[in-house]
Amino acid sequence: MPRKKVVRPIVWLGDSKKQLKKTPEEVQKQMGGELYLAQVGLTPPHAKPLKGIGAGIFEIKDDYETDTYRLVYAVKIGTRLYVLHAFQKKSKTGVAASKKDVALIARRYKQACEMEKENQS
């Protein structure tokens, strides 16, 4: 008998869901499909580890027309998937996220860890 897929619930932190909704519909569909893969325990094809903040943080990148969109999520915090940030990359030089975006992701990661501790008690 096949095993039932466990779909991890998503917790959207800050305005991440609102920001994703501002992106083009094609980007929303791409990100949504990739998030679903993460929810069922798979690594989405456009996801790469985001280093320097914490374990289990991934970034999905989608190029659409002349713009780049990113969605950052954490999977190694309990049983839920935490979406930490969704944004359009503004800088045309370099691949790194801005210091402001990285600081926001770090704050939300810390918040997610605290939420998970509260959820377990």
What is the tens place of the pLDDT at every residue in 59-85? Answer: 999 999 989 999 999 998 888 999 999
Query: 41 is in which domain, residue-wise?
Result: 10-120
> Which ranges constitute the DSSP H helices of the chain?
16-21, 25-39, 99-120
Share of the chain above pLDDT 70, in %: 90
**Domain count within the chain:** 1
48 and 61 in contact (C-beta within 8 Å)?
A: yes
Confidence band (pLDDT; 50, 70, 90) for 118?
confident
Mean pLDDT of the chain: 89
Predicted confidence at residue 8, as pLDDT, reads 92
Q: Which of 1-5, 19-23, 66-70, 114-118 has the lowest mean pLDDT?
A: 1-5
Rounded-to-integer distance, Cα 109 and Cα 31, Å:
19
pLDDT, one tens digit per residue, over 90-112 is: 765 555 678 888 999 999 999 99
Give domain status of residue 42, yes or no.
yes
Residue 109 lies in a domain: yes
In a domain, 78, yes or no: yes
Q: CATH number for the domain including 18? A: 3.30.2310.20
Decide if 5 is inside a domain: no
For residue 70, is it within any domain?
A: yes
Q: Residue 40: pLDDT above 80?
A: yes
Question: Is the pTM of the predicted complex or chain greater than 0.85?
Answer: yes
Is 66 part of a structural domain of the chain? Answer: yes
Look at residue 3 and tell me if it is in a domain.
no
The answer to whether residues 95 and 89 touch, using CB atoms and an 8 Å cutoff, is: no
Q: In the structure encoding, which two tokens stand for residue 93, read together? A: 């030089």
68 in a structural domain: yes
Amino acid in the structure at residue 82: Y
